[in-house]
Structure 1
Amino acid sequence: MQISRYSAPEFDPYGDAAPDDADGGWNAPAATHPIDAVMSLPGSKSLTNRELVLAALADGPSTLRAPLWSRDSELMVEGLRALGTGFERVPGAGGFGDDLVVTPAAELVGSTTIDCGLAGTVMRFLPPVAALALGPTTFDGDEYARKRPMSGVIQGLQALGVDLDDDGRGTLPFTVHGTGRVTGGTLEIDASASSQFVSALLLSGARFEGGLDLRHTGERLPSLPHIEMTIATLAARGVEVASPEVGRWTLAPGPIAAIDVDIEPDLSNAAPFLVAALVAGGSVAITGWPATTTQVGAQLADLLPRFGARVERDGDRLTVHAPERATDGGRGIRGVDLDLSEAGELVPNLVGLAAFADEPSRFTGIGHIRHHETDRLAALAAELNGLGGRVTELEDGLVVEPAELRGGPWRAYADHRMATTGAIVGLGVPGVVVDDIGSTSKTLPQFTALWQRLLA
């Protein structure tokens, strides 16, 4: 297995350049028979990183039970540790690592540098925390991280009076010169590029002296469920966030309560495993599926039937059954027409599934995922077309037409969801080689072991 380089290779998704040399890459196993698997998954990255920030700003120690241990979450831990937060790993009851006791600093202190890697939650959630610390904090990350949108957080903090020096770039690297306090108050930002701009300011807003009255001014707001997740985590800690109108949020200054939290399994990380049931045939069950949740991955229970799957719920187990095979030899997977503006993180895996459908599919409302770990629309089109697919880019989406795929190299672009999509394609097409399967360590370090277990 190739270990992730944690940097996005340069590529021209519209060009004719040959893929990077795949020697030493990961040979994606092809399914030789229908699968019948029951899986359990580690904790949610989105929930873990929100709870880490809130625990660091709370009025006492908190315990996170079954948090995700991955590159993104460990970068968040190290960033908060650099600002003075205390962490203690303690034995956990689950099978995916330790629990974590988080002790807030008596006084947050900067005079440090924070490595954001390629983690949007780290580069966006921690600058408001650093503004509450004393001293300068410099933020930087992987090469591609410098291309990810940051304007909503940078301009938002500057508008609140925070001394943030980015040399006018609007991206990493930049330095927050914290004074130990943020005045807060009324603020307008454009969060069209990322809902994380809103979440970042809300997570720290209760610690601002005047609280926060935040308004989104852009034409669209992607990934709204992630903002709802932020609001729910705040409410659980006694912070009341009101939304008097669409695109506006208010919260009063006050304490953030210290609580112990059980982290749900990551339902977005369940996507490649559930999709595998349709590509290989058979069924896959995920245990620990919550009855109610703010996770975007919960939409899989409604989205996969659109492709022809049958979905069952039994207690905390969600099972996906493949559709019946078509009489002409097709997999029986239906084409879809989906607006996934609220579920952009599911797009790569669902596009990989659509490549095996017997009918064309259209995915729209997802222009914002061009600014995720890589330009996911361009990358998906480039990789699938490189294997014989018929994928057309739209301004805000993709059209996927039926095609006879063949094996070959698959570039991950240091993007964990591109890597898992390569595994999905390889499940149905022998000979797919993923160049950087190690990039899955961003949110699921156990991916290859779990994938082998799936096929066993």
Structure 2
Amino acid sequence: MSAPLWPAPTVTAPVTATVRLPGSKSVTNRALLLAALADGPGAVRLALRSRDADLMTAALRTLGAEMTAVDETPESADWLFTPGPVAGGGHIEVGLAGTVMRFVPPMAALADGEVSFDGDPAARKRPMGTILSALRALGAHADADTLPFTIRGPVTGGEVSVDASGSSQFVSGLLLTAARFEKGVTVRHVGPPVPSMPHIEMTVQMLRARGVEVDDSEPDIWRVAPGPIAATDFTVEPDLSNAAPFFAAAMVTGGAVTVPGWPLETTQPGDLLRHLLAEMGAEVTRVPGGLEVRGSGTITGIDADLRAASELTPTIVALAALADSPSRLRGIAHIRGHETDRLAALVTEITRLGGDANETEDGLEIRPRPLHGGVFHSYEDHRMATAGAVIGLRVPGVEVEDIATTRKTLPDFPRMWAHMLGDMS
């Protein structure tokens, strides 16, 4: 049975809106896991409620964490934690959440028994061998290199070399639990450059904020000393990457969109939107308490290395397909292993609507052409779905397949989109 189609709204007037974003998925899932491993009770406030975040909370409960949600809304919750011994004997569903499938196995290796993992059919194709081989080298047992698999401790820690060129999550997954390993961990990256380095910097910053000793003074080497993870009362930032389609709406329509709560300093890769959108012709301004993006209705092509913020690629590609000059995006070969092969999917869908795009060895080339309506397939990928919504703002007749897949990081994207366009009070 095919997924339902969502008629992407087309607008002819400038969009002017303030869009309040829920919490960062990347920050939420790191904070939840660290709270479950802490040395005492703590809280994670304004945590995102989405499919990925709900999968993480379910996994942590399976591993023995006591968690109570207070001040719940459809988009957020304050989680109160009482950590306990890591429990074995359970089963964890990871869905399509990279943070669950790569961050939780090292914690599961601390358990007193086996822990099994599985996920969505598409998740079984995602790279997992790096993290599972690393756990074996650190003393644990893993019975496969892809989902489904079973983890069994004990894990002692020590030194391990990994090729993290496929995902920065391989490094972050090891670092997050490393302080609880008997010997801590030293992770050495060997291979092509690690993508999404800001996400590793986010992990290191969050560990240090909890009193964990992390040495990242040498390139591609991270050392975490064994010791406690301090309990904290932590508040999650808005998800800056999820601002991308809303800011893109300002550019496509020649309007203005403001996102409140944009931090002055952050490790979120989404902060690179400030520079990328300015290069594509937007006026980007810090306003009291937030960030405003104003478009002229004209979009300029871009030549950019997106290695540090590859999650922004689908939105940048949507803008590039509507631009007045060609674009080249580099440093993103690794997103062939994301929720779907994003490079192939983007080329297929842009071409399906009459555009001109092709893959390169490490990215994409997009040459603008007049687009027409049609079905924009999402491939169970939330960022593909929002890219289709952006194109639909200018191109009548675009129908996005399975818009509900956006629940991965945005609890109700269609409502937020409609509210931005003025269809809801």
Same fold? TM cut 0.5 = yes
- Which residue in the other structure is 1:211 paired with? 184
Q: Does the aligned pair in 1 maintain the 2:252–2:298 contact within 8 Å? A: no
Aligned-partner Cα distance in 1 for 2:369–2:411: 32
Alignment of 1:446 onto 2:424: no
Return the offset for 1:135.
0.6
- Which residue in the other structure is 1:26 paired with? 6
- Which residue in the other structure is 2:289 paired with? 316
- Which residue in the other structure is 1:128 paired with? 106
Return the offset for 1:178.
2.7
- Which residue in the other structure is 1:401 paired with? 367
Question: Which AA in structure 1 matches 2:346?
Answer: L
Return the offset for 1:315.
2.7
> 1:253-272, aligned counterparts within 5 Å?
253-272=226-245
- Which residue in the other structure is 2:127 paired with? 149
What's the TM-score, normalizing by structure 2?
Answer: 0.97
What's the TM-score, normalizing by structure 1?
Answer: 0.91
Return the offset for 1:102.
1.7
Alignment of 1:163 onto 2:141: yes
Aligned-partner Cα distance in 1 for 2:95–2:265: 31
Return the offset for 1:32.
2.3
Alignment of 1:194 onto 2:167: yes
* Aligned counterpart in structure 2 of residue 100 of structure 1, from 68, 71, 79: 79
Q: Does the aligned pair in 2 maintain the 1:223–1:341 contact within 8 Å? A: yes
Aligned-partner Cα distance in 1 for 2:185–2:368: 49
- Which residue in the other structure is 1:8 paired with? none
Alignment of 1:410 onto 2:390: no
- Which residue in the other structure is 1:369 paired with? 335
What SS is found at the alignment partner of 1:220?
A: coil
Aligned-partner Cα distance in 1 for 2:288–2:133: 46
> 1:342-361, aligned counterparts within 5 Å?
342-361=308-327
Per-residue displacement from partner, 1:18-52 (whole Å, max 9, x unpaired)? xx967x41101011211110111100000000001
Return the offset for 1:262.
0.7
- Which residue in the other structure is 2:299 paired with? 333
Aligned-partner Cα distance in 2 for 1:305–1:354: 13
Alignment of 1:61 onto 2:41: yes
* Aligned counterpart in structure 1 of residue 193 of structure 2, from 192, 197, 220: 220
Identity of matched residues, %: 55
Return the offset for 1:171.
1.2
Question: Which AA in structure 2 matches 1:87?
Answer: M
What SS is found at the alignment partner of 1:269?
A: helix
Q: Does the aligned pair in 2 maintain the 1:141–1:172 contact within 8 Å? A: yes
Question: Which AA in structure 2 matches 1:429?
Answer: V
* Number of positions where the alignment pairs a residue of Structure 1 with one of Structure 2: 422
Return the offset for 1:127.
0.4
- Which residue in the other structure is 2:280 paired with? 307
- Which residue in the other structure is 1:116 paired with? 94
Return the offset for 1:98.
2.5
What SS is found at the alignment partner of 2:415?
A: helix
- Which residue in the other structure is 2:16 paired with? 36
Q: Does the aligned pair in 1 maintain the 2:48–2:77 contact within 8 Å? A: no
Spell out structure 1 runs of 4+ moving beyond 4 A: none
Q: Does the aligned pair in 2 maintain the 1:63–1:100 contact within 8 Å? A: yes
Aligned-partner Cα distance in 1 for 2:207–2:76: 25
Per-residue displacement from partner, 1:404-424 (whole Å, max 9, x unpaired)? 000110100000000000100
What SS is found at the alignment partner of 2:30?
A: helix
Aligned-partner Cα distance in 1 for 2:111–2:203: 22
Aligned-partner Cα distance in 2 for 1:399–1:124: 31
Q: Which has the higher contact order (CA 8 A, sep 6+)?
A: 1
Return the offset for 1:176.
0.4
> 1:424-435, aligned counterparts within 5 Å?
424-435=390-401
Q: 1:31 to 1:163 in 2, by over 3 A?
A: same
- Which residue in the other structure is 1:173 paired with? 148
Alignment of 1:51 onto 2:31: yes
What SS is found at the alignment partner of 2:153?
A: strand
Question: Which AA in structure 2 matches 1:121?
Answer: T
Question: Which AA in structure 1 matches 2:57?
Answer: V
The CA RMSD measured in Å over matched residues stands at 1.2
Alignment of 1:74 onto 2:47: no
Per-residue displacement from partner, 1:259-310 (whole Å, max 9, x unpaired)? 0111000000010000111111111000011111000001101110100000
- Which residue in the other structure is 1:298 paired with? 271
Q: 1:161 to 1:145 in 2, by over 3 A?
A: same
What SS is found at the alignment partner of 2:114?
A: strand
Q: Does the aligned pair in 2 maintain the 1:110–1:178 contact within 8 Å? A: no
Aligned-partner Cα distance in 2 for 1:440–1:102: 28
- Which residue in the other structure is 2:117 paired with? 139
Which ranges of structure 1 fall in alignment gaps of 5 or more residues? 1-19, 324-330
Return the offset for 1:314.
1.6
Aligned-partner Cα distance in 1 for 2:227–2:216: 18
Q: Does the aligned pair in 1 maintain the 2:156–2:181 contact within 8 Å? A: yes
What SS is found at the alignment partner of 2:216?
A: strand
Aligned-partner Cα distance in 2 for 1:266–1:244: 28
